[in-house]
Amino acid sequence: EVSFNTAYIECSRSDVYCSVRFYGVIKWNSPRSLRYAVSPLGMAVIFLPESCFLVIISVSVVLADLPVPKNVRVTSINMGVILEWGRPHTSLGNLTYTAEYKSQVYPASFSTVCRNQTEHRCDFTQVINPFGMYVFQVRAEWQGETSRWAKTAEFLPDHQTLIGGPTVRLFSREGNLEMDIQDPVMKVNKDLRDIYSLVGYNIRYWKEGEEDKAIVMNDMQQKRLPRSQLEGLSRYCVQVQVSIGEYKKTGDFSRVTCETTTADGKVEAWMIALILMVSFVVVAVTLPLLFLVAWYFYKGLKFFYPSANLPEHLKKCLMEPPHQYIFLAMQNSSQQEEQYQEVSIISESPLVLGGPLCSHTEELKGTDNGVIEEVFPLNDNKEKE
């Protein structure tokens, strides 16, 4: 009869190695049979009084290795290659990971790209060739212990990468909807058409609000929607995806882009007439205004900058400061009365009536009979002289 009272567990390394000890009491009838029964279990027997003894059972348990990362997968969009994985089932903390790759085209050993990192992803974009074949592997690490490698299946970038949606812009021209489609940008140093030779477009378009009636055109090379399928002055929406002919694969659709068509591709006659009329009015008003502005500007220039130059002595006179004291003296002085005296000139010969008037010189020259009388004013200065 065995009864265990206590179980004691010692773990030297979590989830890897544990020692389990059980403490209990065994009652027996025959010591020989007891030794035979307990010896294979590795029990330590301590004899106690009253026909019982203490039994210590020590069991060593070695658990499995460090678990491998789970859900290992390769994600590739536009030739970018990312290895992703999930955390392994373990309670251990601070796990790190190492990820490697190997080319299957040129057999070689694995090359490490990410070492002792805590992230659950590793970017291999810069080391792969679009036309290669690769295998990837990753393992978990903890305090010097490592898990087994978790490997992927063979990966072919040109076959298995996902092609993103192109960039699309719409233009309405003469009743048509023209598209400017730009291929998605690859994450390697090559364009889409450098990797794939047969590139087309699957075009899906519909009238706005009627997406359930969308029309799909597959593997198109032209970038124009058929005019016969479009209504004038209506808004249409378009989505485009890349089609790879040699691999029978398609990419993601672009975002929805919408544009309004013109009326049958023509401008109405009344609109043309209105535009011409408005243009004529603008020209008729603008030209005279421009002429007047130019004329007044010209006159202003002539006024401020005349073409005729003043003589140098006038410029000098104008530039000299005025003699104000002389001007004030002339204003303050009273006007003097002009003085004069009468002078009579008598000629001995009489003047001919009706004859022409002559100057003083002619009248006095060679005459002795006439008398001429004139009055000459004399200034004070003359009298003094």
Q: For 297-325, what is the HEC assignment? A: HHHHHHHHCCCCCCCHHHHHHHHCCCCHH
Tokens at residue 16, please?
Answer: 């890897």
At 174 the pLDDT is 78
pLDDT digits (tens, 9 = 90+) for 141-157: 999 999 999 999 999 99
CATH number at residue 138: 2.60.40.10
Tally Cβ neighbours within 10 Å of residue 246. Answer: 10
CA distance 378 to 362: 23
CA distance 92 to 87: 10
Considering the domain architecture, whether residues 218 and 299 belong to the same structural domain is answered as: no
Tally Cβ neighbours within 10 Å of residue 190. Answer: 13
373: containing domain: 317-385
Considering the domain architecture, whether residues 247 and 173 belong to the same structural domain is answered as: yes
Considering the domain architecture, whether residues 253 and 171 belong to the same structural domain is answered as: yes
CA dihedral for 299, 305, 311, 316, sign (positive or negative)? positive
pLDDT digits (tens, 9 = 90+) for 51-74: 444 444 544 444 457 999 999 999
Considering the domain architecture, whether residues 353 and 376 belong to the same structural domain is answered as: yes
CA distance 259 to 202: 19
Domain end, chosen from 40, 62, 84, is at: 62
On the question of pLDDT at 222 being above 60, the answer is: yes
Considering the domain architecture, whether residues 256 and 179 belong to the same structural domain is answered as: yes
pTM for the structure as a whole: 0.54
CA distance 263 to 173: 10
Domain end, chosen from 308, 335, 367, is at: 308
Q: Which three-class secondary structure state does DSSP give residue 116? A: strand
Considering the domain architecture, whether residues 149 and 98 belong to the same structural domain is answered as: yes
Considering the domain architecture, whether residues 172 and 255 belong to the same structural domain is answered as: yes
Domain end, chosen from 139, 160, 181, is at: 160
Q: How many domains does the chain have?
A: 5
Considering the domain architecture, whether residues 248 and 278 belong to the same structural domain is answered as: no
Asked if 22 and 10 count as a contact pair (C-beta separation under 8 A), the reply is: no
Q: How confident is the model at residue 264 (pLDDT cuts 50, 70, 90)?
A: low
Considering the domain architecture, whether residues 103 and 186 belong to the same structural domain is answered as: no
Asked if 86 and 69 count as a contact pair (C-beta separation under 8 A), the reply is: yes
Helices (H), the chain: 31-38, 157-160, 192-195, 269-304, 312-319, 324-332, 360-364, 380-384
